[in-house]
Amino acid sequence: MALSKNMLKPTGFESEETPLTPSEYEKALEKYNPEDSIISRLETAVNSFNSNRKMHQDTRAVFEKLVSFGGFRMKSQFQGGLNKKQMKREGMSKEEIELASAHYCLLEEVTDSYWKEVDDKQKPSWVVDFEALAKAFLSSQFLHHFHWYDPKQLATAMMVLRNFYNYLVVHPVCPEYKEQILAASAICDVAEQELPKLAVVGRSLPGAFNSACSTLFGGAYADVHLSKAAQDSWAQGADNVGLDRDEAIIIFKAGVAAHSTAEHLGLEITAVELPDADVKETYEILRKREGFHEYVHTMGKLTCKRWKIPFEHPVDLPAHLMKAKADINQRFEFLVEAETLAYCVPGMKMVAVVKELDVGIKWIDCVESMHPTFHTWLLNEQIRDWKEPGPATDWMQRAMAKKMGEAEAEIEVATLTAHLTPRTLHPRRTMASLPSKMKGVIIEKTGGTEVLQYKTDLSVPSPGEGQVLVKNDYVGINYIDTYFRSGLYPAPQYPYILGREAEGTVVKAGSGELYGLKEGDKVLMLSEGTYAEYTAANAAKAVKVKEGLEAKVGAAALLQGLTALTLIREAHPVKKGDWVLVHAAAGGTGLWLVQLLKAVGANIVGTASTQEKVDLARKAGAEHMINYSHEDVKSKVMELTKDAGCIAVFDGVGKTTFDLSLDCLARKGSMVSFGNASGAVPPVTIARLSAKNARLMRPTLFNYIATREEFEHYVDELMDFVTKDKLDVRIHETYALSDVARAHNDLEGRKTTGKLLLDPSK
């Protein structure tokens, strides 16, 4: 279709409504007199919005559906065939003309309900609720009437809704509902994000696995797939839906293999439900189908509860599994053939392996032993085959000594030998129990690396309210650790365990809100006191490790990655094409900044002190690198930016680069000073900023991720970058915890690039 001239004219949807000038506002107040009823103000607003927009077919369709869903109807026109000019000539006032040309009015049911409430104080059947209306409209009407899975149509609809809500906010239509209107507008943001996903899900479900189940278990997909022979003959070229049985079997088996869990447990029969007449009849019908007769047995239900197997050896399981095992009231329902059910007696016991698909479907995979209702077990059985345990063998002692260090080996050897004794007589320490002592690094005073004390007898902390105890696998080293050690930042107490981040496994859950974390979970966390084998960490700053993330990557990514991400999102939201200067671009945080800025599409100018670092940062994406140990940074920046300077400078070096950074800044630029690797920046007089109308910021990561939502949001985004954009998480070296002084020396000696980690087990 060709565009007409008319179609190219502005429509009123091009830009957001700008704030009203004081005089416009005064005028608008005449139109939307706060003393008028809300219904008349809304009617006026809907009609004004409509008459001020040049609606095309698609925008009109959305607007009309929205307002009619909100309780409006099209009004019959009483203009007597006159247009607005003619009405003016007829002497009609502006208000009369507007009223006469109004397109929409509220339904009588709405106005009646409103006045009933006002006059008779009756509960209204209609209320003003912009947010609920937006939610309802976008989740029903809109989906039914529009091609919402077409990105263009979705964008058009969101534009109309946002534009309308914006009109309602900018004009004094109903300031008493401002919060609601903003919330309604925010729903558009959610819809814009979510509806394209919904479209994909809608197109994809039920998906291969569910279709396979449906094919195999007599659902909608059973028997719809054409056989090979039929495809080859009469159905050639036709759409062949569904799955072949063999394909379905493979898909189903793969799903079971990957998602089913098996548990070895005791069961006690509690009820037997034989098939009723309806079920029997269904089976009769099924048996009449070709090929079904020999396989289909009539089934009923067998209900069981857990049975504590008295002769079972104690097992080492995480507490949550122990708890589940102990839940004697847990019920299981299985489908069992009626001929077998006829012999089942409530109270009978069995030891069986029960498999469960992680969507809740359970079956008895095999039965190991059956026991009568009166089954009784005596200690006599355990003592029958018991022999006096011998001493721990050499290999046991050597293995434990190697793994745990001499001190703990003794306890563990005792543990190893204990399983030879009858458990009821000598209860043993399980592997799940925790040691009381651990390795860690403390400082008792500030200073150089000599104040770092590696200890092997620190007390393992207990998780308090809102905390989880984490056994650390890898600990991230950050520059801030050197600040606490040197005294630049004061430690909260002495002795003080250094460290700010780690990756590990939850070994004990504290009380209170733990954000779904439980024992056994692999986690990444930001926490104090991580230079140790165990840390009691706040669950609010811990998240489960994303599936597929390699060991070490989380510990290497979290703190510096989040710092870089929040800096470019919040300290200065960087846009594509922005010129940005990053100091120490080959450092831990520097390499993150470079890679994220590259992903955003910025022009990156980086600095580093050696050729090796220059090359590394350039490889990571900093196209323009300057070796600031001998090159003139300012003149190079000005040359690159054609004298404009950089719109943002990210400076973690501090004291030695601060002035240079201000010099390299563009007019209205952001000077983001986020660290002190070379020492703290001395006090600055704010008058210095006026030369460029510059913004000066001194942000810290922790203020950008103070709430759980903020934390999760940025962790998700960061992990997406790591996994999807395949960012290079460069690990400089993983140091033994006992070698922490060397790590600090290397970091402060500018010998490192990328991330430094500690292995707390060494």
What is the contact surface with ligand NDP in residues (CB under 6 A)? 478-480, 559-560, 563, 584, 586-590, 608-609, 613, 652-654, 656, 674-678, 699-701, 747-748, 750, 752
Nearest approach, Cβ of residue 436 and ligand NDP (Å): 33
Minimum distance, C-beta of residue 559 to ligand NDP, in the bound complex (Å): 6
Strand-pairing partners, residue 273, are 301
Nearer to ligand NDP, 134 or 605 (CB): 605
In the bound state with ligand NDP, the residue whose beta carbon lies nearer, of 307 and 674, is 674
Considering beta carbons, is residue 506 or 594 the nearer one to ligand NDP? Answer: 594
CA–CA separation, 636 and 660 (whole Å): 12
Determine the Cα–Cα distance for residues 590 and 396; give it in Å rounded to an integer: 47
Residue type for position 480: I
Of the pair 134, 584, the CB lying nearest ligand NDP is at 584
Task: Please return the burial class of 539, using the count of CB atoms within 10 Å of its CB with bins 0-12, 13-18 and 19+.
Answer: buried
Least distance (Å) from ligand NDP to the CB of residue 657?
A: 7
Q: Which is nearer to ligand NDP, 191 or 633 (CB)?
A: 633
Provide the 10 A C-beta neighbour count for residue 546. Answer: 16
Render the burial of 28-52: b for 16+ CB within 10 Å, e for the rest. Answer: eeebbeeeeeebebbbbbbbbbbee
DSSP state of 638: H
Which strands, in side-by-side order, build the sheet including 496-497? 453-459, 437-443, 496-497
304 CB contacts (<8 Å, ≥6 apart)? 267, 268, 269, 270, 331, 332, 333, 334
CA 505 centroid distance within chain: 19
CA distance 324 to 301: 23
Q: Which is nearer to ligand NDP, 428 or 655 (CB)?
A: 655
CB 332 within 8 A of CB 309: no
Residue 110 or 664: the one with the smaller Cβ distance to ligand NDP is 664
299 vs 729, which CB is nearer to ligand NDP?
729
Q: CB of residue 136 vs ligand NDP: minimum separation in angstroms?
A: 42
Q: Which is nearer to ligand NDP, 213 or 582 (CB)?
A: 582
In the complex, what is the shortest distance from the CB of residue 183 to ligand NDP, in angstroms, rounded to a whole number? 32
Helices 38-51, 151-170: inter-axial angle, 10-degree rounding: 130
Supply the minimum distance, in Å, between the C-beta of residue 569 and ligand NDP: 13
Helices (H), 77-177: 84-89, 94-100, 108-120, 130-136, 142-145, 151-170
Report how far residue 409's alpha carbon sits from residue 400's, in angstroms, rounded to the nearest whole number.
5
| CB distance 480 to 509 below 8 Å | no
In what order do the strands lie in the sheet containing 646-651? 624-627, 603-608, 579-582, 646-651, 665-673, 695-697
Q: How far is the CB of 588 from ligand NDP (least distance, A)?
A: 3
- Comparison of 227 and 700: residue with beta carbon closer to ligand NDP: 700
The dihedral through the CA atoms of 228, 233, 236, 241 has a sign that is: negative
Tokens matching residue 131: 């947010």
Rounded CA-CA distance 633/582 in Å is 11
C-beta of 540: minimal distance to ligand NDP in Å?
18
Task: Work out how close the CB of 683 gets to ligand NDP at its nearest, in angstroms, rounded to a whole number.
Answer: 18
Q: How far is the CB of 557 from ligand NDP (least distance, A)?
A: 12
Q: β-pairing, 542-544 with 522-526?
A: antiparallel
**Calpha distance 46→67 (Å, rounded):** 8
Q: Write down the least CB distance from residue 613 to ligand NDP, Å.
A: 5
Q: Is the peptide bond before 318 cis (omega within 30 degrees of 0)?
A: no
Taking the C-alpha atoms of residue 759 and residue 762, their distance in angstroms, rounded to an integer, is 6
DSSP 681: P
* Shortest Å distance, C-beta 563 to ligand NDP: 4
Q: Of 350 and 677, which CB lies nearer to ligand NDP in the complex structure?
A: 677
Tokens of 105: 């009015």
Measured from the CB atom, the residue of 302 and 747 that comes closer to ligand NDP is: 747
Residues 6+ apart with CB under 8 A from 557: 524, 592, 718, 719, 722, 729, 755
Find out whether 750 and 608 touch, Cβ atoms under 8 Å.
Answer: no
Secondary structure class of 278 (helix, strand, coil): helix
- Residue 724 CB, shortest distance to ligand NDP, in Å, is 23
- Do residues 728 and 734 touch, judged by C-beta distance below 8 A? no
Min dist CB 499 to ligand NDP, Å, is: 13
Nearer to ligand NDP, 59 or 657 (CB): 657
Q: Which of 503, 477, 546, 489 is nearest to 742 (CA)?
A: 477
Q: Judged by CB, which is closer to ligand NDP: 211, or 752?
A: 752
Distance of CA 712 to the CA centre of its chain: 6
Of the two residues 209 and 628, which places its CB atom closer to ligand NDP in the complex? 628
Q: Least distance from C-beta 621 to ligand NDP, angstroms?
A: 16
